[in-house]
């Protein structure tokens, strides 16, 4: 959830006649910057099927390729869809059926691309002037003033996988973000629960992609940690 939504919720909860017993705020260490980075490895301008955008297909596209669907009417067959031209630097380099799920060659990206992906996702400097960082402090103070227990929890990241590409530096970047978040909570009763490095690589759903998508065992771990931390309130 965007931190701005949490900020508005905190204001509502603080003034509501039936205040919540506790509020849990998720902190994604990959989302603490106000900057939206362009993709460095591929660009999907328009990938349509039956008139709808399908972002699920984007990780499997050719790096830097631009897909444009030429159908002139709503709908269309899967055969039409797979004949979608693939353009690279304005030149047609093939058709959709040659890429994505249909060709294992494009299911993984190069080491250089993976390093860049991790870099742009996790290495942005978490400045205290960023809106999202300031919003964390505002949320903590708002809930503190209303005597509502607040738990800010840092979601797990795949340390084992990402450290293969940025040994030492990846862990340092995450620690830096956690410290910035912790500083925003000073002077309040809000509690910071850091689960960033709790889980092994096997607990994450998608291999070969820096992510916070957890398998059932990973989600169970997060739920148990939060339950243990707040058990005296319920």
Predicted local confidence at residue 50, as pLDDT: 27
Mean pLDDT for the stretch of residues 49-57: 37
pLDDT band, very low/low/confident/very high, at 65 (cuts 50, 70, 90): very low
Mean pLDDT across the stretch 137-162?
94
Q: In angstroms, rounded to a whole number, what is the distance separating the alpha carbons of residues 30 and 23?
A: 21
Collect all residues with Cβ–Cβ distance below 8 Å to 222 and sequence separation of at least 6: 153, 155, 156, 195, 214
Domains of the chain: 3-37+111-233 (3.40.50), 48-106 (no CATH)
Which pLDDT band holds residue 127 (cuts at 50, 70, 90)? confident
In terms of C-beta density within 10 A (0-12 exposed, 13-18 middle, 19 or more buried), how is residue 10 classed? buried
Phi, psi of 86 (to 5 degrees): -110, 125
Rounded Cα–Cα distance for residues 168 and 170 (Å): 6
Q: 150-154 and 23-27 as β-strands: parallel, antiparallel, unpaired? A: parallel
**What is the rounded distance in angstroms from the CA atom of residue 211 to the CA atom of residue 121?**
9
Tally of residues, the chain: 234
Residue 219 above 70 pLDDT?
A: yes
Arithmetic mean of pLDDT, 28-48: 49
DSSP 65: -
3-state secondary structure of 91: strand
Cα angle vertex 28, ends 24, 32, to 5°? Answer: 115
Confidence check: pLDDT of 57 > 90? no
DSSP-based three-state secondary structure for 150: strand
Q: Residue 101: which residues within 8 A CB-CB, separation 6 or more?
A: 60, 107
Angle, CA of 168, 32 and 25, to the nearest 5°: 110
Lowest-pLDDT range, 2-6, 93-97, 179-183? 93-97
Mean pLDDT for all residues in the chain: 75
Out of 38-42, 212-216, 217-221, the most confident range is: 217-221
Give dist(CA 2, CA 24) in Å, integer: 13
3-class DSSP assignment, residue 72: coil
Q: Is the pLDDT score of 48 beyond 60? A: no
φ/ψ region of 187 (left if φ > 0, alpha if ψ in -120 to 50, else beta) reads left
pLDDT grade for 81, boundaries at 50, 70 and 90: low
Residue 29, pLDDT score: 87
pLDDT of res. 75: 46
Pairing of strands 150-154, 191-194: parallel
């Amino acid at each position: 959830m965007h931190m701005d939504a949490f900020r508005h919720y905190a204001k509502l909860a603080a003034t509501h006649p039936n205040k919540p017993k506790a509020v849990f705020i998720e902190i994604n260490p990959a989302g603490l910057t106000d900057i939206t980075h362009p993709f460095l490895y591929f660009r999907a301008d328009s990938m349509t099927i039956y008139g709808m955008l399908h972002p699920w297909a984007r990780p499997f596209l050719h790096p830097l390729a631009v897909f444009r669907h030429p159908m002139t009417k709503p709908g269309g067959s899967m055969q039409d869809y797979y004949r979608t031209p693939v353009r690279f630097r304005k030149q047609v380099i093939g058709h959709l059926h040659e890429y994505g799920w249909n060709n294992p060659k494009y299911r993984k990206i190069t080491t250089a691309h993976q390093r860049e992906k991790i870099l742009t996702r996790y290495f942005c400097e978490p400045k205290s002037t960023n809106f999202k960082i300031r919003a964390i402090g505002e949320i903590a103070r708002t809930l503190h003033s209303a005597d509502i227990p607040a738990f800010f929890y840092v979601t797990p990241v795949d340390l084992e996988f990402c450290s293969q590409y940025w040994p030492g530096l990846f862990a340092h970047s995450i620690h830096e973000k956690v410290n910035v978040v912790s500083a925003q909570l000073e002077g309040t009763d809000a509690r910071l629960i850091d689960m960033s490095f709790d889980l092994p690589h096997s607990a994450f759903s998608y291999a070969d992609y820096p992510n916070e998508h957890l398998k059932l065992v990973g989600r169970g771990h997060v739920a148990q940690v939060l339950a243990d931390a707040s058990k005296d309130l319920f």
